[in-house]
Amino acid sequence: MDHRRWTASDQGPTAVGALAQTVDGYLWLGTHDSLYRFDGFEFEKFEPADGEPLGVVSALASTTEGLWVGFRIGGARLISANGEMLPVDPGLPDGVVYSIAEDQQGRVWVAADEGLAIHDGTGWRPIGQERGFTGRHARAVHVDTDGYIWAASEEELYMLPPGAPSFMGTGIRSQSFSAIASSPSGDVWITDRSSERLLRLTNKGFASVEFEEIPISNASSIVLDEQGGAWLGTRGSGLYYLADGKMHVPTEGRDVISSYTARDGLSSDYVLAQFIDRDGTLWVGTDAGLDRLDRNDLTPLALSNGVGSTALAVDDDGLLWVGSDNGQLKGIRNTRHSTLEVDMPINSLVNSEQHGLLIGGHQGIFSLADDELVRIAALPVQSTPESAVRAMVVGKNGDIWVSVNREGLFVWSHEQWQYIDPFSDSERQVMPVSASRGPSGKLWFGYRDNLLVSYAEQTFERWSYQEGLDIGHVTAMLHLPERTWVGGQHGLAYLKDGRFHRLDLPAAESFQNIYALVAVPAEKSVEEPGMDIWVHSRGGIFKLPAAEIDRVIAGGDTLLYSSHDHIGRLPMDPHKVLPLPTGVSTPEGSLWFATGQGVVRVDPHKPSDMTHPPVISIQALTADGVEIDISAAPVRLSAAPQRLVIDYSALNLAAPENMRFQYRLSGHDAQWVDAGRSRQAVFSRLPPGNYEFHVRVLDVSGQFHRPNKALIFNVPQVFYLRPWFLLLFSGALLALVFWISRVYTQREKAALRTRLEERFHERERIARELHDTLLQSVQGMMLSFQAVADSLPKESRARHAMEHALDRAEQVIVEGRDRITGLRGEIAPAEDLAVAFQLLQQEADASVSVAYRVSNVGQPLTLRNEVRDVFYQVGREAVFNALRHAEATQISVTFTYAKDRFEMLVADDGVGIDPLYQRMRGRPGHGGLRGIYELADRIEATLMIVSSDRSGTRIRLSLSGTIAYAKALDDKQNRSIRAG
């Protein structure tokens, strides 16, 4: 039996005193604190609509109307099929409700402490002496398969035949009847708690019974399985089991009564209730929790104690041989068993035509002949337990190929060992970890890290990652006529057209570390015959149907497979070498696997014991932690969630751990997502749209089931992503940006204009004061000195000196007036700067050999005084530098009047400006170049100087047209500027 239990540490209820299964498949548990519903995974506490606590539930019965619940404090209530607890019907006798049963007419019988009663659909009617039940107290009631109603009082057992008006006494008396049950054959079983006996009644007809007493102590509950076996629950001794319902004769190694107690794993020895569900699973309620016992699909092989890892092989006679790490070699076929002791751990077993069964270990290679071991050869290395045989295979000519741990690959041929050079320089690929022989006699050797080598006709062939082999360590091989398969660390691959291809498998973690591949003919019900592949991995045993393999290879999605992983896990001992392969098949069709629970047998064509398919349902939808009502379809969410969680489950009490779920969200998932045993799908940041959530469950037989309908829901578009909002927001944003830009530009223009006007007014004030004070004073002084000079003789040296000084003073006055005119913005006599710059060559007294040119580009426009002054001073300094210092032969001055900018370019072909002085913005002690930069900064103009000794100097000064020009441009020009 496969046993599973739930206790308080598993979030399960305790003190389970009543069990029942409703027509929808749920298991109901009556406990000392309430009522629970169980789907095989989670316990759900039943909460009545009125919120009143239920208290101790003492009896449960599933009927056509729903679930009847009896209570310790008295009374019984019905929970309808839709989960509603109906009001109390009057008339039921008081006291503890011990048992509830439904007869063939749909009437409900209740055995309560204060009497027996029947519910006829309208209310309760007590059953007393007028109906033949003379007891004051009722202890149990039961309806058998023939329709007989059995009721026990505190003194006697009564029987009501079908159609009879009243009960009849059976003459069987006791004060401690506790439970009544019946078998499919019609026998009635009664536990007598205090008398330490079990009664088995045979109905001989109307009011005639025969019974036998089976001595057993402390039995308080009983159920009967489909095989006729009786399971007895005791208060302190666990479970008793009577196979075939009979007391067997004691034999060696077999007890009179089989027992299962807390020492064997039962949650407690104090059994309160038992129940066998519709799939034949036994449920046991104890004071500590809930237990499930089910018959295994995998039959374990009895081996001696202390066996860890085992090697498997099948000889030519179909005999299964099991070699263990404790040196025991055992042959099994049906009832035939033979055992041999070998003085070494057995690491490898191989059957061969030439040598029969070969046994490999650290002491050498042996063959089995007439139940005796014959040593063929010692290993070619020093004999130590670490010198384990990792793999072994026999060639067509009888050569024995042996992989020795950490040493390499050797072949025994012509009575001597030959070392095979490694096929890789990696230390991890010194020796093969697996070996096999194909149908044609080709030998195959699997290495670590994606290396596979074959040998045929004296030639080795090598496959690696470059040939598509991408499964890690090659630990399993299977050679079929249509293709060769290899399994390893990371799944399965098959050979096609000289390359390996990975088989797309769901739940990849289940197919990690594959150690055996076994082929089995497909089931007869399959239309196209083929070979199913049974995979033994570290996670368990799985069957890949042939049709599914072909479908996925052809491009299909999500391979469907059946699982036996709850018992097929491999033993993983890091100190021992795992013998390979871990699975073989025998001629009669059985599969044998070496697992962590020992060697087990699987019938590959045995139908599933599951008579009812799992019922799958979508239970809840949660958006950002808030549960959404999914009763109405389609479901419309109020907002787009960041995290969406969908809970689903499947009702399968027989083997819930073997079910695997797959889901697909239409509109999000392109194919089915394998969720394994997870019962929750999580989605993050789903885009707006309509979605359909589909889920299906794969049962132990490889069939999938779906709920009646999918979950349809809508994720709304957030308002700020709707087209109309985006359009309005974009327009408003553009308008705001345009308005801010316009306001900023106007403010900057006004600020700059204010600064220029302030500077201009300040310069006018300075010019006026200089003209009215300094120049007038100097002029007066000159008149005085002129009078003195005129009084001197004309030939006097003093007069000539005075006249010369007065000429110089007059020149100073002229220059001062020019400066004052410049301060007032009146640098050039004409509005056009080009005219003023044409006179600069004469003013500088430059050589006439210099080609000097001034030009305008565009129609000249009126400049602001400050701008004209700065441009004139910068250009004048640039022209004078070119004429006096640059040794230039060509000088050009170009003024560009554009709508959006005013620009001046002074270019010459002279010797250029020293790069050092360019970086310093002028020569120390000279202010010309530095003054140019200061003038440009004054009006925030852009100054760019490019100079070299090869190409001369280019000085470019530019300013925005809105700042440079004095008069506003027309509308067309303004539009051009704004567009720019």
Least confident of 62-76, 558-572, 642-656, 864-878: 558-572
pLDDT of res. 539 = 80
pLDDT of res. 160 = 92
pLDDT of res. 565 = 56
- List alpha helices for 388-511, DSSP H: none
Mean predicted confidence (pLDDT) in 864-880? 87
pLDDT confidence tier of residue 773, bands split at 50, 70 and 90? confident
pLDDT of res. 567 = 56
- C-alpha span between 841 and 888 (Å, rounded): 13
Least confident of 323-327, 654-658, 814-818: 814-818
Least confident of 564-568, 720-724, 877-881, 943-947: 564-568
What is the H or E stretch that residue 752 is in? helix 723-769
pLDDT of res. 939 = 87
- C-alpha span between 318 and 372 (Å, rounded): 18
pLDDT of res. 829 = 44
> Which pTM does this prediction carry?
0.61
* Cβ neighbour number for residue 447 with a 10 Å cutoff: 26
- C-alpha span between 536 and 334 (Å, rounded): 23
- C-alpha span between 542 and 510 (Å, rounded): 9
Q: Answer yes or no: are the C-beta atoms of 102 and 63 closer than 8 Å.
A: yes
Mean predicted confidence (pLDDT) in 790-816? 80
Least confident of 11-15, 336-340, 767-771: 767-771
- C-alpha span between 20 and 277 (Å, rounded): 8
pLDDT of res. 976 = 37
pLDDT of res. 700 = 64
Tell which residue, 223, 217, 226, has the closest CA to residue 285.
223
Mean predicted confidence (pLDDT) in 123-147? 93
pLDDT confidence tier of residue 335, bands split at 50, 70 and 90? low
pLDDT of res. 923 = 67
Least confident of 395-399, 628-632, 656-660: 656-660
pLDDT above 80 for 779: no
**Per-residue pLDDT reduced to its tens digit, 407-446:** 999 999 999 999 999 999 999 999 999 999 999 999 999 9
Instruction: Name the residue with tokens 């109390």.
Output: 88
pLDDT confidence tier of residue 926, bands split at 50, 70 and 90? low
Tell which residue, 772, 903, 767, 750, has the closest CA to residue 826.
767
pLDDT above 50 for 737: yes
**Per-residue pLDDT reduced to its tens digit, 253-279:** 444 578 899 998 999 999 999 999 988
> What are the CA-CA distances from residue 192 to residues 187, 239, 753, 856 (Å)?
16, 16, 115, 127
For residue 376, list its beta bridge partners. none
Hey, what amino acid is at 851? A
What value does the mean pLDDT of the chain take? 85
**Per-residue pLDDT reduced to its tens digit, 448-481:** 999 999 999 999 999 999 999 999 999 999 999 8
pLDDT of res. 432 = 96
Mean predicted confidence (pLDDT) in 99-109? 94
Tell which residue, 649, 702, 673, 656, has the closest CA to residue 506.
673
pLDDT of res. 246 = 63
pLDDT of res. 356 = 92
Cis bond leading into 574, ω under 30°? no
**Stronger pLDDT, 52 or 908, i.e. the higher one:** 908
Tell which residue, 334, 318, 313, 353, has the closest CA to residue 518.
313
- C-alpha span between 758 and 938 (Å, rounded): 12
pLDDT above 60 for 925: no
pLDDT of res. 139 = 94
Q: Answer yes or no: are the C-beta atoms of 608 and 700 closer than 8 Å.
A: yes
pLDDT above 90 for 49: no
Least confident of 27-41, 766-780, 886-900: 766-780
pLDDT of res. 509 = 67
Buried b (16+ CB within 10 A) or exposed e, 776-795: eeeeeebeeeeeebeeeeee
**Per-residue pLDDT reduced to its tens digit, 824-856:** 554 444 457 888 888 777 766 655 678 889 999
Give me Rg for the CA atoms of the chain.
53
Across the chain, how many H-helices and E-strands are there?
11, 70
Half-sphere exposure of residue 48: CA atoms within 13 angstroms, side-chain side: 16
pLDDT confidence tier of residue 970, bands split at 50, 70 and 90? very low
DSSP 10-39: GT--S-EEEEEE-TTS-EEEEESS-EEEE-
